[in-house]
């Protein structure tokens, strides 16, 4: 399959989705932020100076999903039916799993990955006073359902 965001002359373009079926579509993305024990304790104990880290990160992720088309130039704006962010405190960091859903003619993979990315960046912002050496990694699509290409799950994913 060729690159759909390029026309015959190789110029960038927004893909025409007018002929695509409107179907229910969901995408799940994940990412991780590694941090010091002190920073993790601030997240876990809700003692960060800026407030409840995970509550703010969840809202940031949801907001980011809604703004994806403004951030990624060739993404279609689409009507999201649901966006959520779930966090798991792990030894040495926090894992985020973001889920986005729509009933539309194009997928929500970019919305889910944008939500995960911005949730992680927000965690960094909220606790950087405690640990500036935090590392964000592993942002990836775990699963997508619906659409012409059907369902897909990452190896080692959902």
Q: How many residues does the chain have?
A: 158
Active site residue 45: no
**Annotated binding residue 110:** yes
Buried b (16+ CB within 10 A) or exposed e, 46-55: eebeeeebbe
Transcribe 129-156 into DSSP letters: TT-TT-EEEEEEEEEEE-STT--EE-TT
State whether residue 4 is helix, strand or coil: coil
**Annotated binding residue 109:** no
**Annotated binding residue 76:** yes
**Annotated binding residue 113:** no
Beta bridge partners of 35: none
| Triad 114, 115, 118: Cα angle to 5° | 80
Q: Which of 16, 125, 131, 151 is catalytic?
A: 125
In sequence order, what E strands does the chain have? Answer: 23-34, 80-90, 93-104, 135-145, 152-153
As annotated, the binding site for substrate includes: 74-76, 110-111
Q: What are the catalytic residues?
A: 125
């Amino acid at each position: 399959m060729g690159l759909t965001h390029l026309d015959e002359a190789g110029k960038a373009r927004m893909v025409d989705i007018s002929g695509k079926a409107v179907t229910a579509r969901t995408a799940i993305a994940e990412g991780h932020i590694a941090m010091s024990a002190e920073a993790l304790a601030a997240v876990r104990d809700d003692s960060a100076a800026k407030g409840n880290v995970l509550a703010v990160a969840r809202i940031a992720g949801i907001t980011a999903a809604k703004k994806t088309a403004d951030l990624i130039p060739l993404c279609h704006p689409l009507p999201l039916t649901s966006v959520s962010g779930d966090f798991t405190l792990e030894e040495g960091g926090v894992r985020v799993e973001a889920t986005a859903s729509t009933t539309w003619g194009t997928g929500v993979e970019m919305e889910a990955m944008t939500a995960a990315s911005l949730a992680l960046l927000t965690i960094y912002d909220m606790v950087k006073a405690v640990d500036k050496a935090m590392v964000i990694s592993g942002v990836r699509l775990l699963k997508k359902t619906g659409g012409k290409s059907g369902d897909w799950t990452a190896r080692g994913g959902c």
